Amino acid sequence: MRDAEYFVAKARCHKLGMNFDPYHLNKVSYYPRAESLKHFVAKCIVYSILRNYGRLVFTEYPLNEQVRIDVFDLDYQYAYELETNPKRFKETKMQILMEDPRVKEIIIIDLHKIPNDIEQMHLKLKEYVV
């Protein structure tokens, strides 16, 4: 099954004109320069929910030199951005995501509205995942 997912993901990336990076496929990547523990745990939960739905998922996917997507659902082409301060979400990053035809939807999750308790966090984040 794992080999099949690999080739399906590779074909989808090729069709979308995305670089296929097996290092980021169906793995949770930690981005040490900019992640709090809550951010990392929330990213793991979003990843887990998507994988339980059978989706192909990238974490910390480098869309280009400037933009790295926290969680990218390759099947639906949804970008999940976990932000501690969404009001300061970089306009340049948002503009790049909005203009990129490979990203159909951008879902910004305000981590201040997410509880710290892991079970409650899971329930709340499940509301955001499509």
Sketch the domain layout of the chain as residue ranges: 2-128
Euclidean distance between CA atoms 60 and 28, whole angstroms: 8
Return mean pLDDT, the chain.
Answer: 88
Euclidean distance between CA atoms 92 and 89, whole angstroms: 9
Q: Taking 60 as the threshold, does the pLDDT of residue 69 lie above it?
A: yes
**56 with 47: CB under 8 angstroms?**
no
Q: Taking 70 as the threshold, does the pLDDT of residue 2 lie above it?
A: no
Q: What is the mean pLDDT of residues 81-101?
A: 82
Q: Return the number of other C-beta atoms located less than 10 Å from residue 13's C-beta.
A: 20
Q: Taking 90 as the threshold, does the pLDDT of residue 31 lie above it?
A: no
Rounded CA Rg of the chain? 14
Burial label for 43, CB within 10 Å (0-12, 13-18, 19+), is buried
Q: Taking 80 as the threshold, does the pLDDT of residue 109 lie above it?
A: yes
Q: pTM for this structure?
A: 0.88
Pairwise pLDDT comparison (105 vs 65), residue with the higher score? 105
